[in-house]
C-alpha cells in the first residue's frame, strides 16, 4: 500500500472513531528522511545549528580538492543564522517558494582565505530561500560552478571580494537592491528581477531579466535579451504542507521573463518515497535496478566510485544530487548514460574523470538518437565535470549529447589548470591529465545557457547538430601546450574554442568570451577563437577575445577570419556581429 493510501485509511478510521464520540487523536507528522551525516536538516531555532554550520565551513573554507561533501537544508520558517559557504557545500531552502524559508542574517561566499582573490572559489551553491541581512548587503564572491539560484535577497549583492573573480551564474532570483559585479571578468544572469546592476569587465549577459542594463556591447560589455526561449528550472527538494518530503519539478516555460516562483507555482511534485536515496556505499546494481523499475534517484553527498555507468532508461526520471555529489569513473567507463527518452532531469552533480581513459563521461542519448522531445525536453542543470586537479584524469569527451531537444542550464566542463597546492601532487600537465573535448553536441535543437568549457586539448566545444543555441560561453584555452606543433600537429591553426561543424546550416551563439593564456609557450597562435560554416543561418554575436597575462599567446581572429588579433600590446578585442 502506498503512503497516501495508508494515510487515507488512517484518516477514515479517525473519522469513524470520532463519530462514536471517542476523541480523535491527531496524526503524527511524517518523520524527516535519513539523508546521512553529511546532510544537516535545520529546523528554525534549532539548538547547535550555527555551531555545526561554522564547523563545516572551517573544514571547507580552503578545501579546494577535498572528497568531503556537505548539504545544509533549511526547513520552512525564519532562521537566525550566518551561513558562510565553503567548497563542496550546498545550502538550500525546503519551501515550495523561496519566501517560505527566510534567513535573517547573511548567506554568503567570501575569499578571505585567498586575500580577497575569488578566482578559485568554485564548487558551492545556494538556492531557494529569502535572505534578509541586517545591513541589507550580502556577498557572493565566486567563480565557476557556484550557482546562485532561486534566491530572494532583500538588499544589495556584491559578486567580488576585492581581488579578481571569474564567475558566474545567477538564475530565477529576485535581488531587491543593486548587484555590483566588481572585478568579475564575466557573469550570466537569467530569468531574474534586479533592483539594478553596476559594473562590467569583459562579458556580462542577461536574459529575461527585469532591471538589467540595456545592451551596450562592447562598451560596456552588456548583452541583454528580453526573453529566455525555453527553460525548465532545476528540480529541488521541498516539504509539503502535510510534512511529506518531495522533489518539485518546475514546469517548462517558453519566452520566459522574470522569476518562475511569483504567483502560482506550476509544475509537479514527486514524493520522496518514489526515490532511491543513495549514498556512496550503495551498489551500482541497486541504483540501476531502481532506475529501471521507474524510481527516481537522490544522491546524498559524497564521492561515488563507479566501475560501470549509472543508466537512466525511463522518461521523466529525476536524478538530483545534494552537496555536489560526485560521480567518479574508475574503470574507463562512462559515469552515466541516459537513454533517448523525454523529460529526464539531471541536476546538481560533479562528474570526475579517473586515471583510466574514459571515451565519454556523460552520454545523453545513444549515437544516432532520433526521438522528438520538443514538448518535453531533457534538462542538465548545474552539471559540472573535472579532469585532473584532484587526481589523474583522462577522457576523450566529457559530455556527449546525441538526443534532440536538450537544455543545458549551467555547465562547467573543466580540464584542470591547477591542482591541490597543499598536497604532494597537482595532477595537471599536458601528458598527465588529458582531455580532448569538453562538449560534443550531435543532437538537434540543443540549447545551452551559461556554458563554461576550459583547457581541453582539442576543440573545446564541437557542435555537429542543427539548430543549436548557446547563450553565454566562457572559455580559457589550455595553458600547457608545450609548442604549436604539440598542440595540433596536423595544422598551424590550433584548435578553436567553439567549433560548429562545416555541414551545419543553422546555429546561434550570443555572448562568447575566449581567453588565451599559453604559459608554457607564449608564442602559440590560435587562428580563430570560433570556427563556423559560412551559411546564412549561422549567427554569432558579441564575442570577446583576450590575451591574458599581458599577452601570453595570440588569438588572431574572434570568428573565422573576421576581427582583429588579441595579442601582446593589444590584449582585448571584440566583434559585435559575425552575421546579420
Q: What is the pLDDT of residues 203-260, one digit of tens each?
A: 999 999 999 999 999 999 999 999 999 999 999 999 998 999 999 999 999 999 999 9
Of the chain, the percentage scoring pLDDT greater than 70 comes to 94
Query: pLDDT value at position 379?
Result: 99
Cβ atoms of 247 and 296 within 8 Å: the answer is yes
Q: Has residue 23 got a pLDDT over 50?
A: no
Q: Has residue 421 got a pLDDT over 80?
A: no
pTM of the complete model: 0.94
Query: What are the residues facing 539 on neighbouring strands?
Result: 508
Q: Which residue has the cell 576550459?
A: 454
Q: Domain ranges in the chain?
A: 1-30, 39-226, 492-580
List of residues 6+ apart from 359 with CB closer than 8 A: 332, 334, 395, 396, 397
Mean pLDDT of the chain: 94
Q: Which residue has the higher pLDDT, 222 or 428?
A: 222
CATH number for the segment(s) 39-226: 2.160.20.10
Q: Which residue has the cell 546564412?
A: 536
Q: What is the pLDDT of residues 449-486, one digit of tens each?
A: 999 999 999 999 999 999 999 999 999 999 999 999 99
DSSP 165: B
Q: Has residue 81 got a pLDDT over 90?
A: yes
DSSP 535-553: -TEEEEEEEEEEE-TTTSS
- Confidence bin at 10 (pLDDT 50/70/90): very low
Cβ atoms of 260 and 193 within 8 Å: the answer is no
From residue 353, alpha-carbon distances to 204, 233, 327, 359, 435 in Å are 31, 27, 9, 10, 9
Stretch among 26-30, 145-149, 339-343, 486-490 having the lowest mean pLDDT: 26-30
- Whole-number Å distance between alpha carbons of 177 and 180: 10
Q: What is the pLDDT of residues 320-368, one digit of tens each?
A: 999 999 999 999 999 999 999 999 999 999 999 999 999 999 999 999 9
- Confidence bin at 420 (pLDDT 50/70/90): confident
The catalytic position among 61, 114, 476, 531 is: 476
CB atoms inside a 10 Å sphere around CB 113: 16
What nine digits make up the cell of 308? 560501470
Whether 308 sits among the annotated catalytic residues: the reply is no
Query: pLDDT value at position 579?
Result: 76
Query: What are the residues facing 224 on neighbouring strands?
Result: 206
- 275-278 and 137-139 strand pairing: unpaired
- Whole-number Å distance between alpha carbons of 372 and 455: 33
Of the chain, the percentage scoring pLDDT greater than 90 comes to 91
Phi-psi region of 513 (alpha: psi -120 to 50; beta: other; left: phi over 0): beta
Query: What are the residues facing 530 on neighbouring strands?
Result: 498, 559
Query: pLDDT value at position 236?
Result: 98
Backbone angles phi, psi at 192, to 5 degrees: -140, 175
Q: Computed from CA positions of residues 185, 189, 194, 196, in that sequence, does the dihedral angle turn out positive or negative? A: positive
DSSP 125: E
Amino acid at each position: 500500500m502506498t503512503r497516501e493510501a495508508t494515510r487515507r485509511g488512517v484518516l477514515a478510521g479517525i473519522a469513524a472513531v470520532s463519530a462514536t464520540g471517542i476523541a480523535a487523536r491527531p496524526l503524527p507528522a511524517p518523520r524527516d528522511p535519513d539523508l546521512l551525516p553529511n546532510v544537516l536538516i535545520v529546523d528554525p531555532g534549532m539548538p547547535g545549528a550555527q555551531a555545526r554550520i561554522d564547523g563545516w565551513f572551517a573544514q571547507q573554507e580552503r578545501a579546494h580538492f577535498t572528497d568531503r561533501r556537505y548539504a545544509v537544508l533549511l526547513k520552512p520558517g525564519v532562521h537566525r543564522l550566518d551561513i558562510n559557504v565553503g567548497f563542496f557545500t550546498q545550502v538550500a531552502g525546503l519551501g515550495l517558494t523561496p519566501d517560505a524559508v527566510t534567513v535573517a542574517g547573511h548567506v554568503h561566499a567570501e575569499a578571505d582565505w585567498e586575500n580577497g582573490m575569488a578566482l578559485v572559489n568554485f564548487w558551492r551553491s545556494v538556492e531557494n530561500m529569502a535572505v534578509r541581512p541586517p545591513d541589507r548587503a550580502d556577498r557572493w564572491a565566486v567563480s565557476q560552478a557556484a550557482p546562485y539560484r532561486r534566491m530572494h535577497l532583500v538588499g544589495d549583492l556584491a559578486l567580488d571580494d576585492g581581488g579578481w573573480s571569474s564567475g558566474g551564474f545567477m538564475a530565477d532570483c529576485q535581488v531587491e537592491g543593486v548587484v555590483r559585479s566588481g572585478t568579475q571578468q564575466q557573469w550570466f544572469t537569467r530569468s531574474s528581477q534586479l533592483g539594478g546592476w553596476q559594473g562590467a569587465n569583459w562579458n556580462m549577459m542577461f536574459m529575461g531579466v527585469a532591471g538589467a542594463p540595456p545592451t551596450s556591447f562592447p562598451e560596456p560589455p552588456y548583452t541583454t535579451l528580453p526573453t529566455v526561449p525555453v527553460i525548465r528550472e532545476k528540480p529541488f527538494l521541498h516539504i509539503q504542507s502535510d510534512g511529506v518530503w518531495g522533489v518539485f519539478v518546475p514546469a517548462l516555460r517558453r519566452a520566459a521573463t522574470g522569476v518562475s516562483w511569483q504567483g502560482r507555482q506550476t509544475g509537479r511534485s514527486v514524493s520522496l518515497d518514489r526515490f532511491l536515496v543513495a549514498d556512496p556505499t550503495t551498489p551500482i546494481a541497486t541504483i540501476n535496478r531502481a532506475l529501471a523499475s521507474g524510481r527516481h534517484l537522490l544522491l546524498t553527498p559524497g564521492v561515488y566510485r563507479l566501475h560501470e555507468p549509472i543508466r537512466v532508461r525511463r522518461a521523466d526520471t529525476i536524478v538530483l544530487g545534494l552537496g555536489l555529489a560526485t560521480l567518479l569513473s574508475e574503470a574507463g567507463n562512462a559515469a552515466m548514460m541516459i537513454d533517448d527518452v523525454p523529460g529526464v532531469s539531471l541536476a546538481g552533480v560533479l562528474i570526475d574523470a579517473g586515471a583510466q581513459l574514459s571515451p565519454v563521461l556523460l552520454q545523453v542519448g545513444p549515437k544516432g538518437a532520433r526521438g522528438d522531445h520538443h514538448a518535453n525536453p531533457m534538462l542538465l542543470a548545474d552539471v559540472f565535470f573535472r579532469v585532473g586537479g584532484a587526481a589523474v584524469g583522462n577522457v576523450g569527451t566529457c559530455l556527449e549529447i546525441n538526443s534532440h531537444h536538450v537544455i543545458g542550464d549551467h555547465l562547467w566542463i573543466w580540464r584542470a589548470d591547477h591542482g591541490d597546492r597543499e598536497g604532494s601532487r597537482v595532477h595537471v600537465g599536458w601528458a598527465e591529465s588529458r582531455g580532448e573535448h569538453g562538449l560534443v553536441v550531435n543532437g538537434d535543437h540543443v540549447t545551452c545557457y551559461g556554458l563554461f568549457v576550459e583547457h581541453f586539448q582539442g576543440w573545446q566545444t564541437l557542435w555537429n547538430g542543427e539548430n543549436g543555441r548557446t547563450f553565454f560561453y566562457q572559455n580559457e584555452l589550455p595553458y600547457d601546450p608545450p609548442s604549436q606543433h604539440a598542440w595540433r600537429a596536423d595544422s598551424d591553426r590550433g584548435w578553436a574554442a567553439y567549433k560548429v561543424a562545416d555541414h551545419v546550416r543553422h546555429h546561434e551563439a550570443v555572448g562568447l568570451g575566449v581567453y588565451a593564456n599559453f604559459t608554457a609557450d607564449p608564442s602559440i597562435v590560435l587562428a580563430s577563437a570560433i570556427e563556423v560554416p559560412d551559411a546564412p543561418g549561422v549567427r554569432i554575436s558579441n564575442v570577446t577575445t583576450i590575451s591574458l597575462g599581458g599577452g601570453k599567446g595570440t588569438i588572431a581572429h574572434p570568428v573565422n577570419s573576421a576581427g582583429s588579433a588579441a595579442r601582446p600590446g593589444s590584449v582585448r578585442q571584440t566583434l559585435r556581429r559575425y552575421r546579420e
